[in-house]
Amino acid sequence: MSLLTGNERAAYVQNMFTRIAHRYDLMNRLMTGGQDIRWRKQVIKLARMDVNASLLDLGTGTGDLAREAVLQFPQAKVTAADFTLEMMRVGQKTSPLNFSSADALRLPFKDSTFDAVISAFLMRNVIDLQKGIEEQFRVLKEGGRIVILDTTHPKKNILSPFIWIHMHFIIPALGGLLTGVSEAYRYLPETTEEFVNAEEMVACMALAGFKQIGFKRLMFGTIAINWGEK
């Protein structure tokens, strides 16, 4: 994966998510033991939305996070954006969200459009992390919030060997069984190991101009929620 150019990696990721779209949500439930549902609720809470807020769920996939936002804030204007059309087609069968095709590095929205921008498991797939964060900063209103849910490097502890086995063997095997695309679930540990940790994400957010930045680790330190304010 690291040998691919930026455009090649973007095409690879888009193709991969197209192939696993129909089993994507099921695999998320299985990989996290259903904890991803609780994490998404936390993301919406950390966005600190008003009743009539405008929200962008970037890298929405099938719309899980956007649907949680609508459940909590039925009057909010929620936009669910992704660059993989098949993921959004699967999501449309579940609920009529306002889906939008969008590249995280070139968002098709005007400056200062949203009160909050949230994402779940998007940023490790973005070929230019800093540019992706800066684009989210651009489309946020003053005082708007960013919340990022993603994988992170776990700190070394007694569970580290078990986490490694789970990531490198159990998840690819399960993914291959359910989707027939085991390579997609070998991609997960590869990108997790190459991705920034929660503390480095804080630095990237600060460089983009965000203030009041914080984070929390989840699931034995393998998942992090980062947040900040414009």
| Extents of the domains making up the chain | 6-154+196-229
Question: How far apart (Å, rounded) are the C-alpha atoms in residues 195 and 68?
Answer: 26
Q: 57 - beta bridge partners?
A: 80, 118
pLDDT tens digits for range 141-198: 999 999 999 999 877 777 667 777 777 777 777 777 777 777 767 777 777 778 999 9
Tell me: pLDDT of 139 over 50: yes
* 119, 145 Cβ separation under 8 angstroms: no
SS3 at position 158: coil
Tell me: pLDDT of 220 over 60: yes
More confident residue, 100 or 25: 100
Range with the lowest mean pLDDT among 3-7, 8-12, 91-95, 110-114?
3-7
Highest mean pLDDT among 30-34, 79-83, 164-168, 170-174: 79-83
SS3 at position 52: coil
pLDDT tens digits for range 106-137: 999 999 999 999 999 999 999 999 999 999 99
CATH 3.40.50.150 holds for 6-154+196-229: yes
